Amino acid sequence: MSELYDVVVIGAGPAGYPAAIRAAQNKLKVACVDEWRNFDGTFAFGGTCLNAGCIPSKALLESSELFHRAKTEFASHGIKVGEPTLDLAAMQRRRAQIVKTMTGGIAALFKANGVTAFQGHGRLLPGNRVQVTGADGAETVLEAKHVVLASGSSPVRLPTVPHDGKHIVDSWNALEFDSVPRRLGVIGAGVIGLELGSVWRRLGSEVTILEAVDQFLPMADQTIAKEALKHFKKQGLDVKLGAKVARAAVQGGAVKVDFTDAAGEHVIEVDKLVVAVGRRPFTAELLAEGTGVKLDARGFIEVDEHCRTGVPNVWAVGDVVRGPMLAHKGKEEGVMVADLIAGLYGEVNYRVIPSVIYTAPEIAWVGQTEEQVKASGRPYKVGSFPFAASGRARAMEAGQGMAKVVAARDDDEILGVHVIGPMAGELIAEAVLAMEYSASTEDLQRTIHAHPTLSEAVHEAALAADKRAIDAMNR
C-alpha cells in the first residue's frame, strides 16, 4: 500500500522547498520530490536558483567584480598588488563549492524538519496521487491530501539559434565556462544578459548584447535605466538596442550571428553566444491525463491569488505560475500555500515584490515606476539623491547612481522606490518594508538613518520629494 502524506511537493527549488519546510513546521506529514541533476549527473536540491541561477551567478559576479576592482581601484586606495592575474579554474571551484554547500544545506533542512525527500521525477495522477520515478526507473505512488506543484521554468530557446551547449549556450552553460571567451555574444539585454555579460566583461571578454526591443530595461524606472545604460556602455558592454536576430550558426569554431537593426543588416562573429531571452514555465511530464489542472495560453499553470489551481487541494507556486520569475516571489507563495493548507492565514502582497539586478552599479526597485504613476493620472512627487553626495559611497569608491522615491501628492504614500548604486539590493529592503506598511515619505523622513551609511541616500531621496533634502541641492 502506498504511503499517505498530508502534503507532497513536486520541485525543491526556492518555491517548493520552503513550501515543504513550512508545511512540516506546521506539523504536517510532508514529502518533496525533485529531479534536478547537475551536468555530472548528480542529484541536487535547490532547483534553478541554487544550482544554475541566483547563487552561482552571484558567486561569479562577486569574484569578477573583485578582480576588476583589484585591477582598476586598488592603486587609488594606495594598495600596490601589481597586475592581478586570473585563475578561472579556482574561481569556478569556489562557485561550485558555494553551490554544493547551499544545496547540501537544503537536504539538511529537510532532514531537520522531518520532510521525506525523494530524488526522481514526480507526476501528478488523478485523485491527488503522485507517481515518483527514481533514477533506477523504480516507481512509487504517494497518496497526498494536498499536492503543491513547484516545477519551475526552463530557458526559452530560439528556433533559428540552435543550442549546442558548447558555442551556442544558455545561462547555465555560461556560468560554467572553463575559459574566458575572447568574444561573447548575448541575445537579450534582460537581467541574465546584463549579469552574465558583466561577469565575462570583467574577466576580459569583448561583450556584445543584442536586444530586440528599442528601449533599455523597459520594466525599470526610465531615469534609472538611462543611468544604467550609460554605466554599462562605459564598462565596455556593447548593448545594441532594436537588434533583431535572424539566425546564428556555428562555423569554423565560431558563431556567426545575423541581425537587423534600424541601420540595416549586420553579421557579427563571436566565440560563444548566450541566449537569454526569457524563461518559460516547465511542466514536461508533470500532469498525467485527467488531473484537471489547467495551463494558460503561455503554458503557466492557472492559479488564483492564493495559488489554488481549481482542482481541490492541488496548488501551484513559483516560476510555473504567473507573476515575476523571482526566487523570493516563489518562496512567499510556497510559504503562503503551506500556511493555508494548515488552516493558517496566508497572503502574498504582489504589489511590493522587489526586483534586483546584481550588476555594478546594482539596480533595485519596488512598486511603481515614475512612468507607471504618471500614466495612472495620480498626482505625484519625486525625490532623488545622488550617491556622489554620500560620504559612505565615496569612501567605498562607489559614488555613482542615485536613490529615487516616487510618492502620491494627495496622501504622501510611497508608490515606488528605485535605486541604482552600491548595495542597491540591500537598500531596497527598507523601501519594501515601508511600502508593506503603506508608509508615507514623511514616515521615511522621520526615521533615523545611521551616518555614514548608504541608507542615508534613501532617506535623503524621501526628504527631496518635499524639497527638504539636507545633503544635496533640492531641484
Q: Which of 59, 357, 457, 469 binds ligand NAD (CB under 6 A)?
A: 357
Q: Between residue 321 and residue 350, which ones bind ligand FAD under the rule CB under 6 A?
A: 325-328, 330
- The distance of closest approach from Cβ of residue 467 to ligand FAD in the complex, given in angstroms and rounded to an integer, is 35
- Output 190 or 346, the one with its CB closest to ligand NAD: 190
Q: Which of 20, 51, 173, 211 binds ligand NAD (CB under 6 A)?
A: 211
Distance between CA atoms of residues 301 and 149, nearest Å: 9
Q: Which of 21, 115, 277, 303 binds ligand NAD (CB under 6 A)?
A: 277
- Output 241 or 388, the one with its CB closest to ligand NAD: 241
Write the CB contacts of 405 (distance below 8 Å, at least 6 apart in sequence): 382, 383, 384, 414, 416, 417, 431, 441, 444, 458, 461, 462, 464, 465
- The distance of closest approach from Cβ of residue 303 to ligand FAD in the complex, given in angstroms and rounded to an integer, is 12
- Output 15 or 117, the one with its CB closest to ligand FAD: 15
179: cell is 575559459
Distance between CA atoms of residues 194 and 342, nearest Å: 41
- Output 330 or 401, the one with its CB closest to ligand FAD: 330
Site string for ligand FAD, 180-219 (x = CB under 6 A): ------------x---------------------------
Which candidate in 163, 266, 451, 459 is catalytic?
A: 451
State yes or no: cis peptide before 361, omega within 30 of 0.
yes
**Parallel, antiparallel or unpaired: strands 272-275 and 183-187:** parallel
Size of the site for ligand NAD (CB under 6 A): 24
CB 335 within 8 A of CB 24: no
Residue type, 455: S
Site string for ligand FAD, 349-388 (x = CB under 6 A): ---------x------------------------------
Write the CB contacts of 263 (distance below 8 Å, at least 6 apart in sequence): none
Q: Does 451 participate in catalysis according to the annotation?
A: yes
Q: Which among 264, 217, 258, 211 has a CA at the least distance from the CA of 238?
A: 211
- The distance of closest approach from Cβ of residue 24 to ligand FAD in the complex, given in angstroms and rounded to an integer, is 17
- The distance of closest approach from Cβ of residue 264 to ligand FAD in the complex, given in angstroms and rounded to an integer, is 32
- The distance of closest approach from Cβ of residue 317 to ligand NAD in the complex, given in angstroms and rounded to an integer, is 16
Distance between CA atoms of residues 450 and 456, nearest Å: 7
Query: Does the footprint of ligand FAD cover residue 427 (CB under 6 A)?
Result: no
43-72 b/e (C-beta count within 10 Å ≥ 16 → b): bbbbbbbbbbbbbbbebbbbbbbebbeeee
Read off φ and ψ for residue 104, nearest 5 degrees: -65, -30
Q: Which among 405, 416, 393 has a CA at the least distance from the CA of 461?
A: 405
108: cell is 539538511
Query: Does the footprint of ligand NAD cover residue 257 (CB under 6 A)?
Result: no
- The distance of closest approach from Cβ of residue 446 to ligand FAD in the complex, given in angstroms and rounded to an integer, is 31
Site string for ligand FAD, 130-169 (x = CB under 6 A): --------------------xxxx----------------
Q: Which of 35, 195, 332, 413 binds ligand NAD (CB under 6 A)?
A: 195
Write the CB contacts of 451 (distance below 8 Å, at least 6 apart in sequence): 391
- The span of 190-198, 376-384, 385-393, 395-403 binding ligand NAD (CB under 6 A) equals 190-198
SS3 214: coil
- Output 141 or 408, the one with its CB closest to ligand FAD: 141
Residue type, 53: G
Per-residue HEC secondary structure of 152-214 comes to CEEECCCCCCCCCCCCEECHHHHHCCCCCCCEEEEECCCHHHHHHHHHHHHCCCEEEEECCCC
- The distance of closest approach from Cβ of residue 113 to ligand NAD in the complex, given in angstroms and rounded to an integer, is 26
Distance between CA atoms of residues 303 and 310, nearest Å: 7
Active site (catalytic) residues: 451
Interacting residues toward ligand FAD by CB under 6 A: 10-16, 33-36, 47-49, 53-54, 57, 121-122, 150-153, 171, 192, 282, 286, 318-320, 325-328, 330, 358
